[in-house]
Structure 1
Amino acid sequence: MKFKRRTTMFAAAAVVAGLVAGCGSSANEDSATPTPSVEANATLNEKLPPSVRDAGKLNVATDATYPPMQFFDTDGKTMIGFEVDMGNALGELLGVKIDWTNLSAASIAPGIEGGRFDAAITSAQDLPERREVMTFVDYFKIGSSLLVQAGNPKSVADLKSMCGRTLGVQAGTAQLMYLENHDSGCPADKSIQLRTFPTNDAAVTALRAGQVDAVFSQDNANAYVVKQATGQFEMLDDSYDPTPVGIVVKKGSPLTDVLHEAMSELVTTDAYSKIVEKWGLQKNVVDQVTINNGEG
């Protein structure tokens, strides 16, 4: 039985503010750790498309509502996170500035396809369906898991145990695609009720309020929520569909090879190791940077 879907839209600023207030100030503690600089590689800079090299910048899209990957610090203005640090280090290596634009996850793919952005660095999971119009330079691997209230009052065990219950998920994400493309195994009269939200913060806020019974999100995002909102949530052990995560460019982009070469160099540097350690993501690193998970 397929999942039943309901869409719920919230004012993103309000729910993000509520989640930050509930989590305290430890985001500042993470962001305060300095990141080593990276020396520019003139050979890589020469391999950039002339339009990018002449402009001296890469226009990069992201959805800055996904800690610890990318999100706004407690001042509501400064973008921080693992991928922000990594992207800026990549820019240093390439000898260009990363010009970040924050927008909803669902708006990023059209922005890439339409040429508004050179790339997206937004914790995007590399899925075959997405490769029809986009190319991924993969440097990470992330699975998905269930987040529940502390103490697991609804006794959620796994996705199958969500039959007849309400499951929150962010719109435009690989997690929503996974749920929509997999049979829940539930009887027809007890299907899982999918409730989509504009941001992951909004889904977590709904979980806190008891409006959903669990949230399905990336492992790293759920682990960060548990860490920040002490005593409010817990993450179940099962990890679903571990998938490569990559920088996204339009299919056929002249940036593909140079970004692959630059990321392959960056992951060997001390700066990259420090960034990974800073955000506690040592379990997510991969041995080799690939294009489309090495499948061409």
Structure 2
Amino acid sequence: MTFRTALRSAIFGLAAMGLAVPATADQLDDIKADGKIVTATDMHYAPFDMLNNGTYEGMTKDLFDEVAKELGVEPVYQDIPWTAELPGLEVGKFDIVIAPVTITPERLERYTFTPPIADATVSLVKAAGNDELQKPQDIAGKTVGVQQGTAQFRQLQSYGEELGGVTVKEYGTTDEAYADLAAGRLDAVAGSLPNLTYLVKNRPETFALFEPAQFGQPTFFAWVLRKEEASESLARAIEDAIATMTEDGRIRAIQEKWLGGYTELPLTATSD
């Protein structure tokens, strides 16, 4: 089944269950009238989204709490599997996907992206003490885990072909991939640099980054809205909020809290 066919099927199924929300003239006006903005994310994607004893926390939550304050509404956070988020957005199950979504040219044609919230360049992590794997080229002929349906998955596939072959194993969540790496069932895991840096920082006895860790083209994470006229004012309001937060230092403080450093980001969505 192709991605396009799967997406159509998911949208049809959600609509058939009566879960779609009718299109509105202006999404921002409706959100402010309701006093809330309904979001979707996968709460198993540290350091962006995590459940700590059942409580949602992470860099995404800290960022979006501040955006919601700028909009003057309360955020509603929902834990949704990644593969259901974009189809659910398209049929109106929520207002915005705040799971970190890698900006790609294909996605820019289909969705409206907010300004970037983090670096998403694909990187590699290995088991601590594995001296056989050093640089990214060393994964040739190895088995590498990655979260399914992500831009990192596609970049890993492409890179594996360049190297002459890499066995790519897909996982529903990055936590599952990390568990298999720790158990010796994988040689490496591919993901974005912020995710893997956070992993190694918190579990240095188990995991280590490749040196260098990154490969491929630099990319960015952002949030996603429907690409429609009704969403244009909401997109502008979120862009203004992020610009304000960048200027007053809130973006820097949140990055430093969760990532241990600050990366200046573009103020508009770009796949370059």
Aligned AA (1:128): P
**How far apart are the structure 2 equivalents of 1:177 and 1:283?**
27
Q: Report the CA distance between 1:104 and its aligned residue.
A: 1.5
What residue number does 2:148 align with? Answer: 171
Letter in 1 for 2:267: V
CA distance in 2: counterparts of 1:107 and 1:99, whole angstroms: 17
Structure 1 residue 215 and structure 2 residue 196: aligned? no
* Cα distance, 1:239 vs structure 2: 1.3
Q: 234, 237, 251: which is aligned to 2:227?
A: 251
Are the counterparts in 1 of residues 142 and 187 from structure 2 also a CA contact under 8 Å?
A: yes
Partner of residue 72, structure 1: 51
Give deviations 1:105-163, integer Å, cap 9, x for gaps.
Answer: 1111111111111111112111111122211112332312110000124x123443222
1:143 partnered with 2:121: yes
Q: Percent identity?
A: 27
1:227-246 counterparts in 2 under 5 A? 227-236=201-210, 237-240=212-215, 241-246=217-222
TM-aligned CA distance change 1:65 to 1:49, over 3 Å: same
Given the alignment, which residue of 148, 152, 173 partners 2:130? 152
CA contact (8 A) 1:163 1:186 kept: yes
Matched residue count: 241
Give, as a single letter, the amino acid of the residue that structure 1 aligns with 2:199: V
In structure 2, the CA distance between the partners of 1:107 and 1:48, relative to structure 1 (3 Å rule), is closer
- What root-mean-square deviation, in Å, do the aligned CA atoms of Structure 1 and Structure 2 show? 2.0
Residues 13-66 of structure 1, C-alpha deviation per residue, up to 9 Å, x if partnerless? xxxxxxxxxxxxxxxxxxxxxxxxxxxxxxxxxx96221111111111111111
C-alpha spacing 1:161/1:271, structure 2 compared with 1 (3 Å) = closer
Q: Choose which of 99, 104, 112 in structure 2 pairs with 1:127.
A: 104
Alignment of 1:75-114 (within 5 A): 75=53, 77-114=54-91
What letter corresponds to residue 191 of structure 2 in structure 1?
S
Confirm whether residue 201 of structure 1 aligns to residue 201 of structure 2.
no
CA contact (8 A) 1:48 1:258 kept: no
The secondary structure found in structure 2 opposite 1:60 is strand
Secondary structure of the residue that 2:157 maps to in structure 1?
Answer: helix
Indicate conservation of the 8 Å contact 1:160/1:184, yes or no: no
Give the conservation status (yes or no) of the 8 Å contact 2:252–2:262. no
Query: Given residue 243 of structure 1, which amino acid in structure 2 is its aligned partner?
Result: T
SS of the residue aligned with 1:91?
Answer: helix
2:4 aligns with none
Q: Tell me by how many angstroms 1:294 deviates.
A: 8.4
Q: Structure 1 131/281 Cα, relative in aligned 2: closer, same or farther at 3 Å? A: farther
- Cα deviation for residue 273 of structure 1 reads 3.0
**Could you state the TM-score of these two structures normalised by the residue count of structure 1?**
0.76
Whole-angstrom distance in 2 between the partners of 1:222 and 1:62? 19
Structure 1 CA distance for aligned equivalents of residues 237 and 27 of structure 2: 7
Bigger CA drift: 245-254 or 265-274? 265-274
Q: Which amino acid aligns with 1:267?
A: T
- SS for the counterpart of 2:191 is strand
CA distance in 2, matches of 1:91, 1:232: 37
Q: Which has the higher helix share?
A: 2
Query: How far apart are 1:230 and its partner, in Å?
Result: 2.9
TM-score (norm 2): 0.82
Does residue 225 (structure 1) correspond to residue 199 (structure 2)? The answer is yes
- Alpha-carbon shift at residue 274 of structure 1 (Å): 2.4
> 5+ unaligned residues in a row in structure 1: which ranges?
1-46
Distance across 2 between alignment mates of 1:281 and 1:125: 21
More strand by share: 1
Higher relative contact order (CA 8 A, sep 6+): 1
- Structure 2 Cα separation of the partners of residues 117 and 53 of structure 1: 15
CA distance in 1, matches of 2:264, 2:89: 25
